Amino acid sequence: AAVGCALRDSGVRREEAFIVSKVNTPDHGFQETLRSVKASLSQLGLAYVDLMLIHSPIGGRLLETWDALLEARRRGWARQIGVSNFGQKHLQQLEASGRPPPAVNQFEVSPFCQEVELRHLCGQR
């Protein structure tokens, strides 16, 4: 809600801001994810977000959750959809399902966590 208020109070046009939100683990599943996306939009006071992510593969029901994000994009609630904290096996599971791939896989990279293989896999797509 604070992001939506800050955006409205800033005078910045909506098109000039890139807004990202995430579906948390308890909201995995088709209907649960659609409700979560709608709740995020309502809290933000926005008609759409620029990027909606599945926060984590933990919790399962990844394909149902991904299908719901595809539907949210189709409805115009999210311009792009992606994932966060997905490992190689999770990305390969999505790919093997034949569904459209995520636009983004947001994951931690630091001097202590290089994720070389995951970065290579993501860079190939």
What pTM was estimated for this model as a whole?
Answer: 0.89
Give the pLDDT of residue 71: 98
Q: What backbone phi and psi angles, to 5 degrees, belong to 22? A: -130, 150
Alpha carbon of residue 116 to chain centroid: 22
Give the pLDDT of residue 1: 77
DSSP string for residues in 85-101 = S--HHHHHHHHHTTPPP
Mean pLDDT of successive 10-residue segments in the chain (125 residues)?
A: 91 94 96 98 97 92 97 98 90 94 78 72 72
